[in-house]
Chains A and B, each alone.
Chain A
């Protein structure tokens, strides 16, 4: 059992959970993800490690309750426990294997959309702790949906925010800001790391490809096992089939077939709807499972 030490509702339907998992905390690095299974009947859900506290032996995850299974996760309270919590999985971020002195000479840009701020956070934190301040563009639907704003802002060099409705920062898409920085302000970037909705990552990659800037994306495809035995997460990278769980989750964004992943996200659309309906119509049963 993995106890929930802290639970915070940090944005609409968005939850911050600090989970007691000492073995995972000890070995998790930026870029890793975990598989969480709330209870006996629950699905295994992949979530990026957002932060770790090795002293407390805890791992922080942030997720949006948008489907039946994430709603179930969100229904658990401080002091409750999730049944299973396995990790760390996937490969640590490519940054960690680079020469630090070399990295210090490079200009790095992070672009995060919505909940994507959670997975970029540990990477930015790692750079910051090693004396590197990257530029960051943080985007969301509205002001309410901007998460980890102050945490990331203090570690960033140049910090840009955008919202779809203009309620905070510039009313624009992250790609417009990026395009302006590169074209109008003649800024040079050696590396762009972007995490967020698939469509956003796809369009960021189109911009960076045009300007020939190396771009890393982190793919959160459908998964069952998270450890290379089912192949549910497969994606086409540079015309080859890869498993995002063991070969990724980070890939060269210019080699990713985003349209295929977008299609594959809908495989269980009907089953997912049915489950949400079931949850909505058996609220008591659903509530009983939150322990």
Chain B
């Protein structure tokens, strides 16, 4: 008899986990994974695959799991994704593969994400070598940025036989996977590093501390380094501020700064030197995954956290699972609240956040109901830190130093269609640098499509 409910996944107790940076979700063990995989109907026309930005053959890998053929399952996923341990953890499955699962109509969708994660973890723990590469074809490609789009582009090109060099401006590889997403959601040593090591096994060269546009220019990559093509996956790392009074007070941080200190610089560990400051009470402004990450990080550093968002809970752009986890950990929601001023004490430190109450009006261009201020509804949230998480824009370093590379009014690189072709011959781009801030999996998908286009471009030139 088919169960309408999925096999529950074991998680760290909220009261315990809010004091540590260990991973929240433990994932399935073999027995649980096999049981959950048995729920898959193996549909003739699998809708889940069409919901996956990188088109993993989901029913096929799940069938292998059901038969306890975990290595075969890993091989199926590897055909389409080089970062399964990452995606199994951070993809918004509920609006992608799982959102399309036929079981979801009557009961709970198959836990595709958790199964992907299980397969990735199993294959890593069993040292399965998934690197199938072709012999070097004599051509080289430069990839700028070692985030999800750059890594998946590099992986695909390496498998085709290209010599690939990835340039990263920070000292660590992984982009947003290492500086943005916290350890308790995506373990760095356990998950991110091994998946990057798999790319190195494919022969991908990675150079850190190279700032393209400063250390070397895009034109140098062609003219002096002799690359045949370039992929730009430099992300959207520049934090936006609200332009309200008090934003430069002591105790106000961008979510990027706060998370970079904690994740990349490991400020949560005593033996690391980079300081992080989080007050007794912190207001995090925003409602996306980054805002939730920042709030949950603040809780773990001992702060009482308030999430200040101008719409209602239904409109929160963050993943439902993360919102749920944050609630369990004691995050306070101040919804329908729009910050208008950060209040200072006499020493230039944050003393409070002044907000206006909002109500929802007619839907706006995004289809979500527009928040409208309620007259004379000012109130103050008593906090001593504020973290601003209202979005990021692409960093202008590359576009401003590369002649003829077209960008739009938001600073995003303009590409022609889906394959990432830019206004400059031989230069392709993808991920947040093109779309503005989006998800890990969409960036990976863009990287993969660009890899295919780069291959075609080089073959025809």
Q: Does A170 contact B (CB under 8 A)?
A: no
Q: Does A69 contact B (CB under 8 A)?
A: yes
Which residues of the other chain, B, contact A5 by a CB distance below 8 angstroms?
none
A228 touches B397 (CB 8 A): yes
Q: Give Cα A136–Cα B224 distance, bound, in whole angstroms.
A: 40
Q: Does B23 contact A (CB under 8 A)?
A: no
B237 touches A229 (CB 8 A): yes
Expressed in whole angstroms, the minimum distance between the Cβ of A108 and any Cβ of chain B is 26
Q: Interface segment, B45-53, B269-277, B421-429?
A: B269-277
B273 touches A246 (CB 8 A): no
B215 touches A87 (CB 8 A): yes
A224 touches B209 (CB 8 A): no
Q: Does A266 contact B (CB under 8 A)?
A: yes
Q: Give Cα A89–Cα B237 distance, bound, in whole angstroms.
A: 16
Which residues of the other chain, B, contact A199 by a CB distance below 8 angstroms?
none
Partner of A23, one of B210, B261, B275, B395: B210
B239 touches A231 (CB 8 A): yes
**8 Å CB interface, A17-44 against B:** 23-24, 27, 37, 41-44
Q: Give Cα A20–Cα B277 distance, bound, in whole angstroms.
A: 34
Q: Does B194 contact A (CB under 8 A)?
A: no
Partner of A268, one of B215, B260, B277: B277
Q: Does A110 contact B (CB under 8 A)?
A: no
A229 touches B215 (CB 8 A): no
Which residues of the other chain, A, contact B397 by a CB distance below 8 angstroms?
227-228, 246
Q: Give Cα A44–Cα B243 distance, bound, in whole angstroms.
A: 28
* Count of interface residues, chain A, beta-carbon cutoff 8 Å: 40
Expressed in whole angstroms, the minimum distance between the Cβ of A107 and any Cβ of chain B is 32
Q: Give Cα A266–Cα B170 distance, bound, in whole angstroms.
A: 25
Contact with A along B254-275 (1 / 0, CB 8 A): 1011001100011000011111
Which residues of the other chain, B, contact A42 by a CB distance below 8 angstroms?
273
Contact with A along B223-263 (1 / 0, CB 8 A): 00000000000000111010100011011011011001100
Q: Interface segment, A78-86, A96-104, A177-185?
A: A78-86
Q: Does A68 contact B (CB under 8 A)?
A: yes
Which residues of the other chain, B, contact A228 by a CB distance below 8 angstroms?
237-238, 395-397
A230 touches B256 (CB 8 A): yes
Q: Give Cα A230–Cα B263 distance, bound, in whole angstroms.
A: 13
Partner of A43, one of B273, B277, B395: B273
Expressed in whole angstroms, the minimum distance between the Cβ of A273 and any Cβ of chain B is 10
Secondary structure at the B interface, as helix, strand, loop or mixed, is loop
Partner of A236, one of B216, B248, B275: B248
Q: Give Cα A89–Cα B211 distance, bound, in whole angstroms.
A: 8
A224 touches B241 (CB 8 A): no
Which residues of the other chain, A, contact B169 by a CB distance below 8 angstroms?
86, 227
Q: Give Cα A246–Cα B211 distance, bound, in whole angstroms.
A: 12
User: What is the chain A residue whose CB lies nearest that of B207?
Assistant: A23
Which residues of the other chain, B, contact A24 by a CB distance below 8 angstroms?
215
Which residues of the other chain, B, contact A267 by a CB distance below 8 angstroms?
250-251, 277
A84 touches B209 (CB 8 A): yes
B265 touches A224 (CB 8 A): yes
A37 touches B248 (CB 8 A): no
Contact with A along B177-202 (1 / 0, CB 8 A): 00100000000000000000000000
A88 touches B260 (CB 8 A): no
Give the contact-size bracket for chain B: 35 or more
Which residues of the other chain, B, contact A246 by a CB distance below 8 angstroms?
395-397
Q: Give Cα A227–Cα B397 distance, bound, in whole angstroms.
A: 8
A41 touches B215 (CB 8 A): no
Secondary structure at the A interface, as helix, strand, loop or mixed, is mixed
User: What is the chain B residue whose CB lies nearest that of A261?
Assistant: B248
Q: Does A213 contact B (CB under 8 A)?
A: no
B216 touches A224 (CB 8 A): no
Partner of A227, one of B251, B261, B266, B395: B395
Partner of B274, one of A89, A224, A229: A224
Expressed in whole angstroms, the minimum distance between the Cβ of B289 and any Cβ of chain A is 17
Q: Give Cα A89–Cα B213 distance, bound, in whole angstroms.
A: 10
Q: Give Cα A23–Cα B243 distance, bound, in whole angstroms.
A: 38
Q: Give Cα A108–Cα B238 distance, bound, in whole angstroms.
A: 35
Expressed in whole angstroms, the minimum distance between the Cβ of A262 and any Cβ of chain B is 9
A268 touches B275 (CB 8 A): yes
Expressed in whole angstroms, the minimum distance between the Cβ of B424 and any Cβ of chain A is 21
Q: Give Cα A169–Cα B127 distance, bound, in whole angstroms.
A: 69
User: What is the chain B residue whose CB lies nearest that of A40?
Assistant: B272
Q: Give Cα A267–Cα B248 distance, bound, in whole angstroms.
A: 11
Q: Does B171 contact A (CB under 8 A)?
A: yes
Partner of A229, one of B265, B271, B395: B395
Q: Give Cα A228–Cα B392 distance, bound, in whole angstroms.
A: 11
A227 touches B211 (CB 8 A): yes
Which residues of the other chain, A, contact B273 by a CB distance below 8 angstroms?
41-43, 68-69, 72, 275
Q: Give Cα A263–Cα B275 distance, bound, in whole angstroms.
A: 17
Q: Does B136 contact A (CB under 8 A)?
A: no
A231 touches B214 (CB 8 A): no
Q: Give Cα A232–Cα B179 distance, bound, in whole angstroms.
A: 15
A23 touches B238 (CB 8 A): no
Q: Give Cα A260–Cα B238 distance, bound, in whole angstroms.
A: 22
Q: Does B26 contact A (CB under 8 A)?
A: no
Q: Does A11 contact B (CB under 8 A)?
A: no
A43 touches B265 (CB 8 A): yes
Expressed in whole angstroms, the minimum distance between the Cβ of B210 and any Cβ of chain A is 7
B254 touches A231 (CB 8 A): yes
Q: Does A271 contact B (CB under 8 A)?
A: yes
Q: Does A214 contact B (CB under 8 A)?
A: no
B272 touches A271 (CB 8 A): no
Expressed in whole angstroms, the minimum distance between the Cβ of B175 and any Cβ of chain A is 10
B250 touches A87 (CB 8 A): no
Per CB-CB distance, the 5 closest pairs between chain A and chain B, nearest first, are A271-B275, A229-B237, A86-B209, A230-B257, A84-B171
17 residue pairs from A and B, CB less than 8 Å apart: A27-B216, A41-B266, A43-B273, A85-B209, A86-B170, A88-B214, A225-B170, A227-B169, A227-B395, A228-B395, A228-B397, A229-B237, A229-B238, A230-B254, A241-B243, A241-B248, A266-B250
